[in-house]
Chain A
Amino acid sequence: MRTIRSQGKLACSTLALALTASTVMAQMTDEAKAFLGENGIDAGLIAQADAAASQEFEIPAEWLEKAAAEGAIDFSTNDAAQHVAKWLPVFQARYPEIDIVATETSGAARAVQPLLAFKSGRLVRHVLVSFESSLTDFIEADALEELDDLPAWNGVPEDRRAADGTFAGMQNTTWCMIYNKNRVSEDELPATWWDLVSEDSALKDGRVGAANRSQLWTLNLWTHPDYGPERMTNEFLPAFFDTLKPQLRAEGVGGMINLPLVGEFDVGLPTPNDETWEIMQTGAPAGWHCPEPVPQYFNLIGMFRDSPTHYSSKVFINWILSQEGQLTRLAAGGDGPVHKDLQVAGGALLADAFAGKDIALRTLDGMLNELPKLNDVWNPIWAASGGAQ
């Protein structure tokens, strides 16, 4: 009887709490603290994220209730499955009722196919990342849900999120070149991109392997004042293809990282700081070099409208954008935080290679307005030079 009474009290208190408090506030979970501590994240940063948690996870209680009733989120990601396996338990320690099915995708499967399905009235993915190269199509299709009501939204710098709130940067990446230390000496490495494509370049005639990913590094130069569309069209790109004569490869970024190690080519372009750092940890003879200006950008995250996992997707994206989520992903796979309060030392891997150098940032304007123009120049030259299509 006593038990029933105390249970009744508890139920009443819970109900009262649910009625009076329409939002759920939280501190950083013990699992997150332990994971971050074990994976080398600075104690000060952990404390900062812990302090920010109450505001960043101030999620309406209704969202969580509805999220619990939804199915698993189908998450299309470029994150390696072993990284997902590391950070997913930290997320689920906070939100055990939300399940995520993460699929590492590349090429058309990551963004184009889900968009196509959406335009056909179907949803095959709910949350997706790195859809920058199809961004204009996503906007034209009005495919993305507004996210600016997320508590963690304001942590994303204004220049790295959509003005209409439909997508946000989720991680910073620096794109330079990996090289095989056994085959390339440091004095052969170019100080600037102009040096790379000059007649005197030591890396001419097939020593560089290039992936067909103009949006990852060339766009940054296209919008940089020292390069610009005109010089890129008439000087840099012709020199890149005709003077440097790189191997034009069909492989994606992973191939650019692995193939120099077996001697397929000596330098892989472009390669990101996080994945290159990871291969370096295996003892591979890999170096990473950034000619100036250093291409940097932020990968985007967004969710489809009319998603069957509307609330859980929002809760999930909010976690990704929060300091806890950003630090957890940094610890799990080296993904650089985009959060404005985490732009500190230790927030980017291999930072020595680009610290103090001129940065060429890929902007939203560049992605929306300049990328199609760059592609109009890049694609024909790539094809005419025999690049894999």
Chain B
Amino acid sequence: MANTMTNAPGEAAGTEAKARKNIVARMFPWLVLLMLAALVVAPIFSLVAGSFSLSRLPNEFALDNLGFDNFYAVWIEQRIDRVIWNTTIYVIGATVFGVTTAGVLAWLVERSDMPGKTWIYAGVPLGIAVPGILHAIAWVLLLSPRSGFVNRAWMDVTGSNAPLFDIYTMGGLIFAEGLRLVPVAFLMLVPLMRSMDPAMEEAAAASGASPSRVVRRITLALLMPGVLAISIFQAITAMENFEVPGVLGMPVNLHVFSTRVYNLIDNIGSIPAFGQANAAAIFYLVIALIISFFYLRLVRSSERYSTITGKGFTPRKVPLGRWRKPALALALLFLFMTIVLPFLVLLYVSLLNYLRPPSLEAFKSFTLQNYENVFAQPRVARTLFNTIYVTLLTATTVTVVSFLISYIIVRTRFAGRYVLDMLSFLPHAIPGIVLGLALFWLFMQIDEWTGLRTFGSIYALVLGFTILFLSYAVRAMSVAMIQVHPDLEDAAKLSGAAPWRIALRVFGPLLMPTLVGIWIYVAMLSVRFISLPLILSQGGNNEVLGVMIWSLWDNGNISSVGAIGIMLMSFMFALALGLRAFGFGSQRGSAL
């Protein structure tokens, strides 16, 4: 009795605590879903609302002042049809060029007997470390029609008045963006090539099919769905890219969607047409969403082409014969053009006392003055601090949030997990410039309603980046989690471990390479990405390196761009090596 008397309240409290825990456990996925929905849907809603707003400013939005005028103006006055056409040519061209180049390199590394494959395999992904803006600037310095170092040398040597290449053309845009797409496409294609069972090719060959027929009818047919999915993924990436068309297209009025939207709000003399920018962004977003829809459909149906079975196999290596060395030369040329050349060009510019073509005299005049100037500027230290702060916060937030989302998707029977999966992928379809514009509107409204100071703050960038990079992280995290068998988790549960302990002691160690890999990859993206900060950066409080480089380039301070670019690229190479050592390198890019 005494026992009953003493235990009853304890049992009741225990039951109550258990019930409370159950409620929390049941509510938690819903909270995550709501949070994600708010993160993704709220900016899109503000973008759509803004596109119909006929008020001059975001904070003058009023329900009685809405209409279709912005869409009309964008279509008729801004000739968005031309922008759609340019974007189509640019995206298709860059994707075909980039994926084909990546395909050739991946095939050489995985399926041929090319010498030096390890170096090529290690080198190609390093291209991720070259920020798009520096990549584009390097090509301007080399191939600008009149002053590009290559063209200048050509004209001086031949006496010609015409340049050898003109980077300020659609061809130039496709070339520069295509090269930029190769590293990620390569990382995605390598596992595809590796996982192909050679039995079918061998059977075809044994049946008398010629090697070219085998490649055409078997190899390419098997690869096609995967290649198509990768191509669409890359097309979305090319479409949302701002840096390359911003540096190469904008100066000659060769606009694609990302630059047109930016151009509409970057008005030097008067308050820009925000409503029109939103309307243009809506066209942009709809096209990106349609492409993403096809991507998802393709990925889901690609299982039909799976050749991985329980049977072990080693993919057949194709002997290249006398083409072994030329193949290696081709691969090395790619590495030189995408990694070594941009670095050398920026290094050269950073050491000049004034901009001039390479010559003996120029080499003799080398100075570290630009580096000293950069270090003497309080602005650089502040911008560096902002960049590091944003990068650390974004990478950590994205890693944690993607872990939570992936856990719910992969490990629970939560009713809304498919919606959660869809919502987490959706940001991949939102171009950075569009999200920037959407958040610009949203933050202004939030500040007006709440009195907070989100607009122009560093947290505005962190939030924007978190939304933008979540889809990459959730994909990678989910793939890694699927590979961890639930038995381990069940065993821990049966032993009475709390969920947080399971996460820390079971998932943590097993997923560490993925967690670190995602963290580093998101950190790299946060440093590279400039379209979103270009819209959300509002002065010293939240200026980051990408914006500073853009501003210096825009102002014509090319030597400072060189000095900062070299330091940034060195840092990014270190991160890329870290990424390879800890994360995706060990998985060979399967998740991305």
A interface residue numbers (CB < 8 A to B): 72, 74-76, 80-82, 84-85, 88, 101-109, 112-117, 119-122, 124-125, 133-134, 137, 215, 249-259, 261-265, 279, 282-284, 375, 386-389
A119 to B, closest residue via Cβ: B57
Cβ of A121 and Cβ of B271 under 8 Å apart?
A: no
- 6 interchain residue pairs of minimum CB distance: A254-B556, A255-B556, A101-B540, A264-B147, A124-B538, A81-B377
Instruction: Tell me whether B555 is interfacial, beta carbon within 8 Å.
Output: yes
Interface assignment of B453: CB less than 8 Å from any CB of chain A: yes
- Interface-forming stretch among B209-217, B249-257, B507-515? B249-257
Cα separation A112 to B267 with both chains bound (whole Å): 7
Q: Closest A residue to B367 by CB, please name it.
A: A282
Assembly CA distance A188 to B554 (angstroms)? 30
Interface mask (B241-281 → A, CB under 8 Å = 1, otherwise 0): 00000000011110000000001011111111000000000
Cross-chain contact B555 with A84 (CB below 8 angstroms): no
CA distance A266 to B526 in the complex (A): 39
CB distance A112 to B354 under 8 Å? no
* A120, B551: Cβ atoms closer than 8 Å: no
In the complex, B376 has a CB within 8 A of chain A: yes
Of chain A, the residue at the smallest CB distance from B58 is A120
Q: Tell me which of B45-53, B104-112, B287-295, B378-386 binds A.
A: B378-386
Determine whether the beta carbon of B456 is less than 8 Å from that of A258: no
Q: How far is the CB of B308 from chain A (nearest CB, A)?
A: 51
- CB <8 Å contact, B265 and A85: no
Interface size on B, residues (CB 8 A): 52
Chain A residues near B456 (CB-CB < 8 A): 117, 122, 124
Asked whether B11 is an interface residue with its Cβ less than 8 Å from the other chain, the reply is: no
For B271, list chain A residues within 8 Å (CB): 112, 115-116, 119, 134, 137
Q: How far is the CB of B257 from chain A (nearest CB, A)?
A: 16
Task: Flag if B144 contacts A264 (CB, 8 Å).
Answer: yes
Given A261-B355, A388-B252, answer yes or no on A251-B378 (Cβ-Cβ < 8 Å). Answer: no
B541 at the interface (CB under 8 A from A): yes
A112 touches B269 (CB 8 A): yes
A88 contacts B378, C-beta separation under 8 Å: yes
From A75, A125, A253, contact of B555 by CB (8 A): A253
- Chain B residues near A388 (CB-CB < 8 A): 250-253
Give Cα A367–Cα B267 distance, bound, in whole angstroms. Answer: 18
Could you tell me if A124 and B353 are in contact, using CB atoms closer than 8 angstroms?
A: no
Q: What are the residues of chain A within 8 A of B444 when measuring CB–CB?
A: 120, 122
CA distance A311 to B377 in the complex (A): 25
Is A133 a contact of B269 with CB atoms below 8 Å?
yes
The answer to the question of B146 belonging to the interface, with a C-beta cut-off of 8 Å to chain A, is: yes
Known A-B contacts A251-B556, A252-B555; A102 and B378 likewise in contact (beta carbons under 8 Å) = yes
Instruction: State the Cβ distance, B82 to closest chain A Cβ, in Å.
Output: 13
Q: Does B557 contact A (CB under 8 A)?
A: yes
Asked if residues B250 and A283 are in contact (CB atoms below 8 Å), the reply is no
A117–B146 touching, CB < 8 Å: no
- 14 A-B Cβ contacts within 8 A? A88-B378, A101-B541, A102-B378, A102-B379, A103-B543, A104-B379, A106-B554, A124-B539, A251-B251, A262-B357, A263-B152, A264-B146, A283-B365, A389-B253
| A84-B377, A283-B353, A375-B269 known; A263-B448 Cβ under 8 A | no
Residues of A within 8 A of B59 (CB): 119-121
Contact A389/B263 with A122-B444, A250-B251, A262-B147 known, Cβ cut-off 8 Å: yes
- Closest-CB distance, A96 to chain B (whole angstroms): 15
Task: Find the B residue at minimum CB distance from A80.
Answer: B557
List, in ascending order, chain A residues with CB within 8 A of B373's CB.
81-82
Asked whether any CB of chain A lies closer than 8 Å to the CB of B473, the reply is no
Chain B nearest CB from A228 CB (Å) reads 22
Inter-chain CA distance A82–B252, complex, in Å, is 31
B541 surroundings in chain A (CB, below 8 A): 74, 101, 124
- Quote the shortest CB–CB distance from B172 to chain A (angstroms): 15
Chain B residue nearest to A371 in the complex (CB): B269
Q: How far is the CB of B510 from the nearest CB of chain A, in Å?
A: 45
**How far is A386 from B453 in the complex, measured between Cα atoms in Å?**
41
Query: Would you call B99 an interface residue if the criterion is a C-beta within 8 Å of the partner chain's C-beta atoms?
Result: no
Complex contacts, B552 vs chain A, CB 8 Å: 104
**How long is the Cα–Cα vector from A107 to B269 in the complex, in angstroms?**
8
| Given contact pairs A103-B379, A106-B551, a sample of 17 additional A-B residue pairs in the complex whose CB atoms are under 8 Å apart | A74-B539, A80-B557, A103-B540, A103-B543, A104-B379, A105-B539, A109-B551, A117-B456, A121-B448, A134-B271, A251-B554, A252-B556, A256-B556, A258-B558, A265-B146, A283-B353, A284-B353
Docked-complex contact B540 and A102, CB < 8 angstroms: yes
Give the chain B neighbours of A386 by CB distance below 8 A: 253
Q: Which residues of B contact A108 (CB under 8 A)?
A: 265-268, 272
Alpha-carbon distance A263/B356, docked complex (angstroms): 8
Measured in the bound complex, the distance between the Cα atoms of B251 and A250 in whole Å is 5
Q: How far is the CA of A119 from the CA of B59 in the complex (A)?
A: 8
Contact across chains for B357 and A107 when beta carbons are under 8 A apart: no
Interface flag for B71 (CB, 8 Å):
no
Closest to A379 in B: B269
Q: A101-B540, A103-B543, A122-B447 are in contact. Are A134 and B453 (CB under 8 A)?
A: no
Q: Residue on B with the closest CB to A280?
A: B354
8 Å CB contact of B540 from A74, A117, A256, A284? A74
In Å, the complex CA distance between A76 and B543 comes to 12
CA–CA, A36 and B422, complex, Å: 64
* Interface presence of B455 (CB below 8 A): yes
Residue of A nearest to B443 (CB): A122
**Assembly CA distance A114 to B57 (angstroms):** 13
- B538's contact among A75, A117, A137, A250, by CB below 8 Å, is which? A117
Closest CB-CB distance, A42 to chain B, in whole Å?
A: 26
In Å, the complex CA distance between A389 and B268 comes to 10
B514-540 near A? 1/0 per residue, CB < 8 Å:
000000000000000000000001111
| Min CB gap A108→B, angstroms | 5
Which chain A residues lie closer than 8 Å to B152 at the CB level? 262-263
Q: Mark B355-368, 1 if CB is under 8 A from A, else 0.
A: 11100000001000
Q: How far apart sit A284 and B353, CA to CA, in the bound complex (Å)?
A: 8
Q: How many angstroms between the C-alpha atoms of A103 and B250 in the bound complex?
A: 24
User: How long is the Cα–Cα vector from A134 to B270 in the complex, in angstroms?
Assistant: 6
B58, B265, B365, B540 interface centre (most CB from chain A within 10 Å): B540
